[in-house]
Amino acid sequence: MLIIGHLDPAAIRERTATAVRLIDPAAVSRVPASFPGLRVEERDAYVVAPWHGREDGERGEAFAARLQAESGCLVADRRNGRIVELGQMAGRAAG
């Protein structure tokens, strides 16, 4: 799963998702409309999307890239304790 938000990188290295501030609620409302049927979970201060080996993993990655581009947040792989560099994927696999 991908964790998307304004996250504390030190906490991610410890495999904990700790937000340092809320992610832009307008972006969280707007971006999912470009990915109909994608199952994302909104948490208190971040969003969780499917990734590697999961149904809709590629769309989850594209969703994370788009949300990151619109909000300036981080994308993390909490399970492996690392920040994910998604590059220019925001348009790929949308819709």
Q: How far is the C-alpha of 64 from the C-alpha of 47, rounded, in Å?
A: 9
Name the pTM for this structure.
0.85
pLDDT at 31 over 60: yes
What confidence score (pLDDT) does residue 44 get?
Answer: 83
- Eight-state DSSP code of residue 44: S
Amino acid identity of 53?
A: G
Distances (CA, A) of 75 to 8, 29, 81: 11, 17, 11
Q: What pLDDT, in 10s, does the model give residues 63-77?
A: 999 999 999 999 999
Highest mean pLDDT among 44-53, 61-70, 83-92: 61-70
Could you tell me where the DSSP H helices lie in 1-95?
9-13, 25-30, 57-71
What confidence score (pLDDT) does residue 15 get?
Answer: 95
What confidence score (pLDDT) does residue 57 get?
Answer: 85
What confidence score (pLDDT) does residue 49 get?
Answer: 93
